[in-house]
Amino acid sequence: MARIRLGMVGGGKDAFIGAVHRIASRIDGEFELVAGALSSTPERARESGEALGLDPARSYESFEAMAEAEAARPDGIEAVSIVTPNHVHGAAAAAFLKRGIHVICDKPLTATMAQAAELEAAVRASKALFILTHNYTGYPMIRQAREMVAAGDLGTIRVVQVEYAQDWLTEASEETGTNKQAEWRTDPERSGAGGSIGDIGTHAHNLACFVTGLTVEKLSADLQSFVPGRRVDDNAHVMLRFAGGARGMLWCSQVAPGCENGLRLRVFGDRGGLEWAQEDPNYLWFTPFGEPKRLLTRRGAGASEAANAVSRTPGGHPEGYLEGFANLYAGAAAAIRAAQGGGRDPVLDVLPGLEEGLAGMRFIDACVRSSGGDAAWVTL
């Protein structure tokens, strides 16, 4: 089959996440990058296009120009990856969706609730697919954990604990002029009102909900900006109440020295518990109540069908971040090909999309409102 013609908005020179998306899109050979509006700065956009070997005629200075031109070409892009700062997501996605071009967008959904509402309308009005890259949902042992919870292996879920700790913003990196990521991620005009809660807290929230199948009904959040002068939070403690009665705790921090990418999840039911850590992602600990703890490994003897379906290498060969992203791109490719044929691929039941994005935005909004009210309980 011919590769899906892919465009990219953002992700140019010095952009971390754009390179990750390009690698992930290539791993299974399903996509070919043929066009881009890689920067909001025209000169940087051209330089980035040249560096990636794009046809100069298809290296655009704006996403608006790209959407219009590519939609008019007989060989125009079939899908676009949006990897810009958060405040651009909504308008960029809408420009392609209204032209029938499938969208693969980085998280969170947008920077504001108003932008999220506009994007929701654009998604619902379009026949094109909208996929959100909560990449940790693509990890094999996370797929297994989700399957085990759904199968009742843990019984009724009672407690969910999730954390995501980093240390890269322990100092005021945004003030040095040398850290582009720090600059926009701590700028509320570009990142939104949530700092760490929007950047990594949404990942923790999404992972907890993805694995358990539960939704958060109410929360109490205490957000901090520990670095003097920082305009968004860099640490958050959140108490969670899930539909059905389960309780949870979420901690996210980008000022925790010694923590690199410490995403961890623990789920406890009346029949057993699960533990998983992103920095050791090929292992899943399962403890049936009253029995010894069991180590389940990716592609190991206890690996499930759901886990094996998204595993690429034999057991003992580590898979992780890039492969997790690639699993989302592989799923997106299957969904796009099915849609082009007038069908629907079941992979859409597991891929994050608009609803997960809206849930993340409601989570951020509720955290900010709660913290502003001295950690008052608020309803999502």
Q: What is the mean pLDDT of the chain?
A: 97
pLDDT band at 178 (very low <50, low <70, confident <90, very high): confident
Q: What is the β-pairing status of strands 79-83 and 4-10? A: parallel
pLDDT tens readout for residues 51-70: 999 999 999 999 999 999 99
pLDDT band at 14 (very low <50, low <70, confident <90, very high): confident
**What is the full DSSP assignment across 7-51?**
EEEE--TT-HHHHHHHHHHHHTT-EEEEEEE--SSHHHHHHHHHH
Ramachandran class of 376: left when φ > 0, alpha when ψ lies in -120 to 50, beta otherwise:
beta
pLDDT band at 15 (very low <50, low <70, confident <90, very high): confident
Options 3.90.1150.200, 2.160.10.10, 3.40.50.150, 3.30.360.10; CATH of 139-312+359-379? 3.30.360.10
Q: Which two tokens mark 88?
A: 């651009």
What number is the average pLDDT over the span 245-263?
Answer: 98
119 in Cβ contact with 45 (< 8 Å): no
The pTM of this model reads: 0.96
Question: Residue 191: what pLDDT?
Answer: 96
DSSP 3-state of 246: coil
Homologous superfamily, domain 4-128: NAD(P)-binding Rossmann-like Domain (3.40.50.720)
Question: Residue 1: what pLDDT?
Answer: 83
pLDDT tens readout for residues 188-233: 999 999 999 999 999 999 999 999 999 999 999 999 999 999 999 9
pLDDT tens readout for residues 156-175: 999 999 999 999 999 999 99
Where are the CATH 3.30.360.10 domain residues in the chain? 139-312+359-379
**What is the full DSSP assignment across 252-318?**
EES--TT-SSEEEEEEEESSEEEEEETTSTTEEEEEETTS--EEEETTSTT--HHHHTT--S-TTS-
Q: How far is CA 48 from the centre of its chain?
A: 24
Does residue 84 surpass a pLDDT of 90?
yes
Report the percentage of the chain scoring pLDDT > 90. 96
pLDDT band at 86 (very low <50, low <70, confident <90, very high): very high
Matching residue, tokens 């959407």: 67
Q: What is the β-pairing status of strands 4-10 and 31-37? A: parallel
115 in Cβ contact with 365 (< 8 Å): no
Helices (H), strands (E): how many in the chain?
A: 13, 14
Nearest to 215 by CA among 251, 252, 240, 238: 240
pLDDT tens readout for residues 287-336: 999 999 999 999 999 999 999 999 999 999 999 999 999 999 999 999 99
Question: Residue 374: what pLDDT?
Answer: 98
Question: Residue 93: what pLDDT?
Answer: 98
The Cβ-side half-sphere exposure at 276, using a 13 Å CA radius, reads: 29
pLDDT tens readout for residues 334-371: 999 999 999 999 999 999 999 999 999 999 999 999 99
Question: Residue 160: what pLDDT?
Answer: 98
What number is the average pLDDT over the span 12-38?
Answer: 95
Question: Residue 64: what pLDDT?
Answer: 97
Where are the CATH 3.40.50.720 domain residues in the chain? 4-128
pLDDT band at 177 (very low <50, low <70, confident <90, very high): confident
Report the percentage of the chain scoring pLDDT > 70. 100
Question: Residue 212: what pLDDT?
Answer: 98
What sign does the dihedral 243-249-255-259 (CA atoms) show? negative
